[in-house]
Amino acid sequence: MTLYIIGLGLNGPKDITMKGLELVKSCDEVYLERYTSLLQCSFHDLAKFYDKEITLADRNTSEQGMEKIVKQAKTENVAFLVIGDPFSATTHTAIFKMAKENDVNVEVIHNSSILTAIGQTGLQLYKFGKTTSIPFLDDFPQLETPYRILQQNQEIGAHTLMLLDIRVDQDQFMTVSQAIEILENIESRIGEKAINDEILAIGCARLGCDDFIIKTGTLKHLKDIDFGKPLHCLIIPGKMHFSEEEIIKMWT
């Protein structure tokens, strides 16, 4: 018996790998974790495509109630579906570790992730520094972390990927504009000039989907662009090789 942690990729039902699909079909129970990211299809579309019932795993099931899923995998084959790649959100390492500690067989089926899809911008993945997240300010009114991480990356000339907060249960997804406003808010409190209107950035929406958007421009310019449906993320490039500069110009 095995716990299969299966990446679903970034778009819709057909982004699962062949191996992942075969395993989903063969499992006794299938859970879907959908609070750290968003697919461009409903969970009913997934269930229909897999021809399988899917149990939604909410925040509690994933972080505290995971024991139940891990225990179940001692006697049954269980699939735990994760949007994107299983290991590109910190929470999923916990279920893998718990399975190992409890002598439960665990297998991981990887898939594409936002952490690699950003390569489509033309920036080299090797040249990214620490990734940071921007939470909604009402949760963290004194927020500094994304600003500090940007400064650390800027010091070594590395690119910065900023993942934007989502509240799936409240249907709230941070936009590129909101993220820029939050960075400006931090700048106004800290005043160390890491952020200003003229900084070059890249806004991305729905990478991996047919209607993806990538736009290069100053923060001032990007703030006025409507990137459409979620998910969005923001990149602030560091020192660029001329080939990177050439490619990102294509998205202006």
Q: Which residues, listed in sequence order, are joined to residue 163 by a DSSP beta bridge? A: 133, 233
Asked if 62 touches ligand SAM (CB under 6 A), the answer is no
In 10 A of CB 82, how many CB atoms? Answer: 28
Q: Are strands 55-57 and 29-33 parallel, antiparallel or unpaired?
A: parallel
Helices 66-75, 91-101: axis angle to 10 degrees equals 40
How many residues sit close enough to ligand SAM to count as binding (CB under 6 A)? 22
Half-sphere exposure of residue 157: CA atoms within 13 angstroms, side-chain side: 6
E-strand ranges in 54-95 read 55-57, 78-82
**Any contact of residue 85 with ligand SAM (CB under 6 A)?**
yes
Q: Interface mask (CB under 6 A) for ligand SAM, residues 65-84, using x and -?
A: -----------------xxx
Structure tokens at 26: 């063969």
Q: How far is the CB of 89 from ligand SAM (least distance, A)?
A: 4
Q: Which of 27, 81, 201, 207: binder of ligand SAM (CB under 6 A)?
A: 207
Tokens of 128: 């990214």
Complex with ligand SAM: residue 71 or 110, whichever CB lies closer: 110
**x/- letters, 14..43, toward ligand SAM (CB under 6 A):** ----------------------xx------
Q: Where are the alpha helices (DSSP H) in 76-207?
A: 91-101, 114-117, 145-155, 176-190
* Residue closer to ligand SAM (CB basis): 89 or 240: 89
Q: Which residue among 66, 89, 150, 213 contacts ligand SAM (CB under 6 A)?
A: 89
Return all residues near 225 (Cβ < 8 A) that are at least 6 apart. Answer: 176, 177, 203, 215, 217
Closest-CB residue for ligand SAM? Answer: 84
Identify whether 143 is preceded by a cis peptide bond (ω within 30 of 0).
no
Told to check if 88 binds ligand SAM by CB under 6 A, we report yes
**CB 233 to ligand SAM: min, Å:** 4
**Geometric angle at alpha carbon 30, from 25 and 36, rounded to 5°:** 125
Q: How far is the CB of 48 from ligand SAM (least distance, A)?
A: 22
Residues written for the chain: 252
- Tell me the β-bridge partners of 54: none
Closest CB 155 distance from ligand SAM, rounded Å:
24
* Minimum distance, C-beta of residue 61 to ligand SAM, in the bound complex (Å): 16
Within residues 117-176, the interface with ligand SAM by CB under 6 A covers: 163-164, 166
**Which residues lie near ligand SAM (CB under 6 A)?**
10, 36-37, 82-85, 88-89, 113-114, 163-164, 166, 204-208, 231-233
